[in-house]
Amino acid sequence: MTTESADVVIIGGGIIGMATAYYLAKLGSDVVVVEKGEIAGGTSSKCDGNILAIDKEPGFDSQMSLESQKLVTQLVAELDEEFEYRAPGSILVCESDEEMEAAQTWVNRQKEAGLPFRMLDRGEIRSEWKHMAGDIHGGLECATDSTVNPVLFTYSLAVTAQRLGARLKTHTWVTGIRLDESGAVAGVETSNGLIRTKHVVNAAGVWSKPIAQMVGIEIPVEPRKGHILVSSRTESIGTRKVMEFSYLMSKFGKERKVDRLTEQYGVALVFEPTASQNFLIGSSREFVGFDMKINVEVIRCIARRAIRFFPVMKDIPVLRSYCGLRPWTPDHLPIVSPVEEVPGFYIAAGHEGDGISLAAITGKVMSECIMGQETTISIEPLHYKRFQKEDGKK
Amino acid sequence: MKKSLRISHHPLLGEMDKKVISFTYNGEKLQGLEGEPIAVALLASHIRVLRRHEESGSARGLYCGIGHCMECRVQVQGKGQVRACLTPLQEGMEIQEGSRLPNAITGRVDS
Amino acid sequence: MSEIQQTDLLIVGAGPAGLSAAATISADHDFRVMVIDEFPEPGGRLLGQFHEERDHSWWIGKTVAADLIAQNTLAGVTIQCGVSVYGLELLPDGWKVLTSNGDIHTKYLLLATGAAEVPVPVSGWTLPGVMSIGAAQVMANVHQVKPGEKGFIVGVNVLSLAIARELVVAGIELEGIALPSSDLFATEETTPVAAVELLTRLSDAAPAPWMRWGGKLAQKMKLSRLIASCFPKRGVKVWDLPLQLRTALVSIQGVDQVESVIVADVTSSGEMIEGSQREIEVDFVAIAGGLYPLAELAALAGCPFLYVSELGGNIPIHNERMKTTLPNLYVAGNITGVEGAQVAMAQGRLVAHSISYDAGWFACEEEQKLLDAIDEVKEVRRSAMIQFHPEIDEARKRIYELFDHWT
């Protein structure tokens, strides 16, 4: 057991923790990251890799994504390792006229918020996607959406943060958070000893709730399980991300016109081609606690949904499947805020499926917040207190 | 013409008792034994290249022989991609080696 | 996809353990037994094995497999081949097994999936014509097609020597059996000293009395290091095999397939001697990295594991009666540790009695049969021609103790 000290201790070595570590180290802060397993060993390696605005609620949510996209463009030049960054844009496709109307409303609202969205007609979809089912009505595009390899991105942030002086402690878990007489943060107790510090960032993702409880704070972050299929190497079906429009319905918990299992497992098409000649297929959403077992029924359901949009996939072998737990919050926005009751305690968690998308902006504003600088975007809508107010109303 | 690699008489195991059938590999007409794995029928005709790596184009063949390593992937007309070490040969099968594919994302075009 | 199939006992793996279990249990009881296997024909590794017994008679696996298959057919056991398992789910009254041929519901589930080979990456190993030694065995002995006219074997272990001998019997020319060169993947087991230790342990199976005697003496006097350093550079013939302990494979050469290998001389601790490289023309290379238990399905089911190097790798925790810590789930054969086919068959008979006992048939009678079967496994192991590892019994005890902790 040893005792050391740091300006800031970050709990969690996933994409959010590493982005925060990088931006803090860049500002000259002395940072220690405490991770119970490996870097990117949790949700950050069991996801797909997108920096999307297309699926964000128009307004604050989508503008935050746009800011994140701009930061990632800078990170391509700043970070020490390459992470398969591309910015080909992404699209949503519609199955009915009804969805096309809803898509038009979505596009109009995003444009008003200043984002590069536009509608795509049936012909445009057909000419770009030769293998797409013939009955697709059209869709919409967000031109700036980009894609990364999430594991490489996390590692790239980690190695660059390390070069800037950050210390990474893997296979080290937090056993307690030490407060001084005034109730402010004084240190982090770990399986490998005490780290004295005045600032702690809870970036523990799906495990952020028990970490917050260590200082008596309740946050409504719950694990939401998602499955992903990986195809074998195959001839290209497309070069950018495509999702079905009703993915938005699934994401925001609205009613959809789909069969019982598709509804029950929250299955919606997400297609993501990779640089390794294969593609990832999602998605599903389930609240089943911390159960990480692959559910074959969900896999079949995702495969059926994918074949509905890309009939050619019927003959493409699936290489493997995996699932991850996404840190869900009730309003689909992350918590990025200081905790006033416990001076020195900060939360950067609850990004659900937007962790890769929002990591850069989250890390940036978290570093600014801790260093007492003005934040790049307002983080007021992301304050953890919004959930306490709701509880008060009830 | 090289002589077949078939062991016509094994001192302890004797003869193989299977029907001779025809199939094609990359369009070439060949003969093999019914029900033996595709990789075996090809090997008997001195064909070891089953696939070109999708990215690098390097030649690949049978490695583990038990369906685990997935190195022996070939295309069979009507069946799609199969493992040559486990898939039994049938009369008239049309088999193609697994080929190098262009990479639309990195922009590599040769195949 | 076909409709759900129902059975009382499903055995995954139609090899020596699985077929023996099926034959034993069905011979005793009116009980639905189904065996499935991913390979197109039943028999597993029995199909490709043969060896010479102490009395110079030949033990031929193919014949043993044919006998077992005939017994099973007679007893009404269903054997389905070409079926892959991709999922397992525990049900209140048994297991749901997801296969490429549809779902199967079974009360009892036996995993007898055997072992797979440890790959040894060497320069040039992706070239067509380079294969695992097990694949070479299957080509030559199961399908009776030579893996090539002239080959080279990389890796000195029980498996490589046994299969090398089979290849020579089949009329295949071998240019050498040598160690892989020391690199990132090399372990202590790949040094000449370790190889000599192995050979002295195998001396029971040696074809000439002086070799058996010499081997035992070497083992007793701990002469391995000395022998390794005196081992002739050009190798010696063991069972007509060109064994080269002071030579290591450097790389495999060829454009579209194997054309030659580059080898070099090494010191007794495995370091390469500069300037000793030479090229040997061959048309196939067999890589022998040893075996590890094939236990993915036990992991999928949720079994706890223990890594036991003497048994070849990660072993699902089980007891002496072959029961895992999960309800109605059993294991037998190489999934419980790497050993020979005869031990696997004895384990198959044992697990059959264990399942019968748990099913509650003639419990008092079965108890004795079960205890006898446990003794039989030990006896078969003791008298086996080839001992895979000297400390197998002790290693197995560690697993059984852990089982007691779990339950």
Question: Which of C38, C131, C144 is the closest to B63 by Cβ?
Answer: C131
Banded model confidence at residue C267, pLDDT cuts 50, 70, 90: confident
Distance CA A151, CA A47 (A): 9
Q: For residues C14 and A321, what is the distance between their CA atoms, to the nearest angstrom? A: 27
Q: What single DSSP character describes residue B64?
A: S
CATH topology for the A90-143+222-328 domain: D-Amino Acid Oxidase; Chain A, domain 2 (3.30.9)
Name residue C6's beta-bridge partners: C105
Residue pair A186/A51 in contact by the 8 Å Cβ criterion = no
What residues of A are in contact with residue B81 (Cβ under 8 Å)?
Answer: 232, 317
Listed in sequence order, the residues at least 6 apart from C27 whose beta carbon sits closer than 8 Å to its beta carbon are C71, C75
* Interface contact C135-B36, CB threshold 8 A: no
Nearest to A277 among B54, B73, B81 (CB): B54
Which one-letter DSSP state was computed for residue C203?
G
Q: Do C139 and B43 touch (CB under 8 A)?
A: yes
Q: Is A296 on the interface with C (CB under 8 A)?
A: yes
Is the Cβ of C139 closer than 8 Å to some Cβ of chain B?
yes
Where along chain B do its domains lie? 20-97
Contacts of A295 in chain C (CB under 8 A): none
Question: What radius of gyration do chain A's Cα atoms show?
Answer: 21
How many residues would you count in chain B?
111
Q: What angle, 0 to 180 degrees and rounded to 10, lies between the N-to-C axes of helices C192-201 and C209-221?
A: 120
Q: Which residues, in sequence order, are bridge partners of residue A318?
A: A231
Q: Which fold has domain C120-287?
A: FAD/NAD(P)-binding domain (3.50.50)
Q: By CA distance, what is B83's nearest residue in A?
A: A317
| Amino acid B13: pLDDT | 85
Span B84-110, mean pLDDT? 94
A288 in reach of chain C (CB within 8 A) = no
Which among A18, A336, A330 has a CA at the least distance from the CA of A163? A18
**Domain C5-116+291-406 and domain C120-287 have a common topology:** yes
Q: DSSP assignment, residue C205?
A: G
Chains near A with 3+ CB pairs less than 8 A apart are: B, C
On whether the CB atoms of residues B40 and B87 are closer than 8 A, the answer is: no
Q: For chain B, which chains pass the contact test of at least 3 CB pairs under 8 Å?
A: A, C
Residue A170, both tokens: 């893997």
What are A204's two structure tokens?
């523990």
**Given B54, B80, B106, which is nearest A233 (Cβ)?**
B54
What sign results for the dihedral spanned by CA atoms C218, C219, C221, C223?
Answer: positive
Question: Counting runs of H as helices and runs of E as strands, what totals does chain B give?
Answer: 1, 7
Contact residues on chain A for B55, CB-CB shorter than 8 A? 233, 276-277
**Enclosing H/E stretch for C151:** strand C150-154
Does any CB of chain C come closer than 8 Å to the CB of residue B70? no
Of A173, A178, A172, A174, the C-alpha closest to A215 is: A178
Q: Chain A residues with CB inside 8 Å of B80's CB? A: 315-317
CATH code of the domain made up of C5-116+291-406:
3.50.50.60
- Beta-ladder partners of C65: none
Q: Which chain C residues touch A if contact means CB-CB below 8 Å?
A: 86-87, 98, 302
A6 phi and psi angles, rounded to 5 deg: -155, 160
Average of pLDDT values for C83-112? 96
Provide φ and ψ at C133, rounded to 5°.
-65, -30
Residue positions counted in chain C: 407
- The reported pTM is 0.87
* Closest by Cβ to A239, choosing from B55, B73, B105: B105
CB contact under 8 A, A233 and B101: yes
Would you call C128 and B64 a contact, using CB atoms and an 8 Å cutoff? no
* Helices C16-28 & C341-359 angle (0-180, nearest 10): 40
Q: Pick one of 3.10.20.740, 3.30.70.890, 3.40.50.720, 3.10.180.10 as the CATH number of B20-97.
A: 3.10.20.740
Distance CA A48, CA C52 (A): 55
| Chain A hits for B73, Cβ within 8 Å | 232
The helix (run of H) or strand (run of E) holding residue C216 is helix C209-221
Question: What integer pLDDT is reported at residue C124 of this predicted model?
Answer: 96
Query: Which among C140, C143, C256 has CB closest to B49?
Result: C256
Nearest to A366 by CA among A4, A19, A5, A45: A19
**CB-CB under 8 Å, C141 with B61:** no
Q: What is the pLDDT of residue C233?
A: 62
- HEC secondary structure over A248-312: HHHHCCCCCCCCHHHHHCCCCCEEEECCCCCEEEECCCECECECCCCCHHHHHHHHHHHHHHCHH
**Interface contact C145-B12, CB threshold 8 A:** no
Structure token digits, residue B41: 């029928």
Question: Is residue C101 over pLDDT 90?
Answer: yes
Nearest-CA distance B85 → chain A (Å) = 17
* Residue B58: other Cβ atoms inside 10 A: 14
Residue of A nearest to B54 (CA): A233
Chain B residues touching A276 at Cβ < 8 A: 55
Q: What is the dihedral of CA C170, C176, C177, C183, to 10 degrees?
A: -140
pLDDT at A88: 95
Nearest CA-CA distance, residue B46 and chain A, Å: 27
Closest residue in C to B35 (Cα) is C40
The answer to whether the Cβ–Cβ distance between A277 and B55 falls below 8 Å is yes
DSSP 8-state code for residue C138 = I
For residues B49-77, average pLDDT: 95
Integer Cα distance of B8 and C390 in angstroms: 39
Q: C194: part of which helix (H) or strand (E)? A: helix C192-201
Chain C residues inside the 8 Å CB shell of B89: none
B103 neighbourhood in chain A, CB within 8 Å: 236, 275, 277
DSSP state for residue A233 in the 8-state scheme: S
- What DSSP element (H or E) covers C150? strand C150-154
Peptide bond between residue C160 and the one before it cis (omega within 30 degrees of 0): no
Helices C363-383 + C341-359 axis angle, to 10: 170
User: Do the strands C284-287 and C130-132 form a parallel or antiparallel pair, or are they unpaired?
Assistant: parallel
**Is the ipTM reported for this complex over the cut 0.85?**
yes
Which residue from B minimizes the CA distance to A272? B105
pLDDT in tens, C340-384: 999 999 999 999 999 999 988 766 777 889 999 999 999 999 888
In chain A, residues with a C-beta closer than 8 Å to the C-beta of C302 are 293
The dihedral through the CA atoms of C251, C253, C258, C262 has a sign that is negative
Residue C280 to residue C151: CA distance in whole angstroms: 10
Q: Where in chain A is the domain with CATH 3.30.9.10?
A: 90-143+222-328
Taking CA atoms, C252 is separated from A321, B42, B56, C161, in Å, by 35, 22, 18, 21
Q: How far is CA A179 from CA A189, A200, A209, A341, in A?
A: 11, 11, 18, 12
User: Does A273 touch chain B if contact means CB atoms closer than 8 Å?
Assistant: yes
Q: C344 to chain A, minimum CA–CA distance in Å? A: 31
Distance to chain B for A73, nearest Cα, Å: 18
Task: State the average pLDDT for chain C.
Answer: 87
pLDDT at C203 over 70: no
Closest CA to C61 of A13, B12, B60, B101: B12
Chain B residues touching residue C131 (CB < 8 angstroms): 61-65
- CA angle centred on C152, ends C149 and C154, rounded to 5°: 150
Instruction: Give B94 to chain C, closest Cα distance, Å.
Output: 19
CA distance A187 to B46: 69
* pLDDT one-digit tens code per residue, C53-79: 778 888 899 999 999 999 999 999 999
pLDDT tens figures, C28-54: 667 899 999 999 999 999 999 888 777
β-pair partners for B48? none
- The Cα–Cα gap between A74 and A82 comes to 12
Q: Which of C86, C104, C303 to mutate to test the interface with A (most CBs of A within 10 A)?
A: C86
**Element containing residue C392 per DSSP (H, E):** helix C392-406
Our CA angle for C61, C65, C66, nearest 5°, is: 120
Closest-CA distance of chain C to residue A229, Å: 14
Q: A287: exposed, middle or buried (C-beta count within 10 Å: 0-12, 13-18, 19+)?
A: exposed
Q: Is it the case that residue C186 has pLDDT exceeding 80?
A: no
Contacts 24+ apart (CB under 8 A), A299-304: A299/A227, A299/A229, A301/A261, A301/A262, A301/A265, A301/A267, A302/A227, A302/A229, A302/A267, A303/A229, A304/A262
Helices (H), A27-186: 60-78, 97-112, 122-128, 150-163
Taking an 8 Å cut-off on Cβ atoms, the answer to whether C60 and B5 are in contact is no
Q: Do A239 and B104 count as a contact with CB atoms less than 8 A apart?
A: yes
Q: Around Cβ A101, how many Cβ atoms within 10 Å?
A: 11
Residues C214-264: pLDDT tens digits? Answer: 555 555 555 566 566 666 666 666 666 777 778 889 999 999 999 999 999
Task: Give the class (CATH, top level) of A2-46+151-221+331-393.
Answer: alpha beta
Which chain B residue lies closest to A237 (C-alpha atoms)?
B104
Burial of C309 (0-12, 13-18, 19+ CB in 10 A): exposed
**DSSP string for residues in C221-251:** HT-HHHHHHHS-TT-EEETTEEEEEEEEEEE
What percentage of chain C exceeds 70 in pLDDT?
83
pLDDT at C53: 78
In the predicted model, what is the mean pLDDT of residues C133-161? 92
Answer yes or no: do B86 and C50 touch at CB < 8 A.
no
Spell out the domain ranges in chain C.
Answer: 5-116+291-406, 120-287
Residue with tokens 């001192």: B11
Per-residue CA distances from B107 to A128, B51, C112 (Å): 16, 22, 46
| pLDDT digits (tens), chain A, 394 positions | 678 999 999 999 999 999 999 999 999 999 999 999 999 999 999 999 989 999 998 889 988 999 999 999 999 999 999 999 999 999 999 999 999 999 999 999 999 988 999 999 999 999 999 999 999 999 999 999 999 999 999 999 999 999 999 999 999 999 999 999 999 999 999 999 999 999 999 999 999 999 999 999 999 999 999 999 999 999 999 999 999 999 887 777 777 888 999 999 999 999 999 999 999 999 999 999 999 999 999 999 999 999 999 999 998 989 999 999 999 999 999 999 999 999 999 999 999 999 999 999 999 999 999 999 999 999 999 999 999 865 544 3
Q: Above 60 in pLDDT, residue C205?
A: no
Q: Which chains neighbour C (Cβ–Cβ under 8 Å, 3 or more pairs)?
A: A, B
Contact A27, A366 (CB under 8 A): no
Instruction: Return the residue matching tokens 């019914």.
Output: B34
Sign of CA dihedral C345, C348, C352, C353: positive
Chain A contact for B67 (CB, 8 A cutoff): no
